[in-house]
Chain A
Amino acid sequence: DTEVTQTPKHLVMGMTNKKSLKCEQHMGHRAMYWYKQKAKKPPELMFVYSYEKLSINESVPSRFSPECPNSSLLNLHLHALQPEDSALYLCASSQGGLGEQYFGPGTRLTVT
């Protein structure tokens, strides 16, 4: 099973709201990732967790706050977002240093 699940599928939020995106994998992967993808662009890496510890933060604004409660779960907490944060948010996981990442279906976020 090479499945990564993400909830919700769609999310509309106002600029003062607080919401969370959830990602789950049951492949025993020890690395998990958050990406942001704008229309007609490749995914941009936001955060990397390795063995439940944050290992890479690509200078993401603090209104995005990642959390890895256990090896299967990854959350992205959202607060005071801007309209330009509207995008497809993708979660991925990998076994480790081989580079092969498996992606979830994404959450389509719209900030109004």
Chain B
Amino acid sequence: AQSVTQLDSQVPVFEEAPVELRCNYSSSVSVYLFWYVQYPNQGLQLLLKYLSGSTLVKGINGFEAEFNKSQTSFHLRKPSVHISDTAEYFCAVSQDQTGTASKLTFGTGTRLQVTL
């Protein structure tokens, strides 16, 4: 079985400051890792993904994440946040699937609150 832990339920930060949202996972097999963002009253938007290759992954809106296999982590970072980054962020893991559909396990989410 796999699981995802997002240690921080809320992260307050001032505009233009850097931010890191933490994500740890557990799985006994190879995994694919994702970060999704959800703005109020909207669906989930894919920010970035790690499937294989380089452990530093760049996504949309200036976000990046680093896959660390030894620490089973996939933390999300942005060097300078904007008010518009205020949203809920979900880390998710998908077990290596050989079939035709995937099954995502989500963390509980981190609310990023950016203020002036």
Contact = CB atoms under 8 A, between A and B. Distances in A.
A43 B107 CA distance: 10
Interface residues of B, number: 27
Interface of A: 4, 6, 30-31, 33, 40-43, 45, 48-51, 55-56, 90, 92, 94, 96-106, 108
Given A98-B32, A100-B46, A42 B90 contact: yes
Contacts of A99: 32, 34, 49, 51, 94-95, 97, 102, 104
Contact of B103 (A40, A43, A48): A48
A104 B34 CA distance: 17
**Residue among A40, A92, A101 with max Cβ neighbours from chain B (10 Å):** A101
B104 A45 contact: yes
A101 B32 CA distance: 12
Contact of A97 (B41, B90, B99, B106): B99
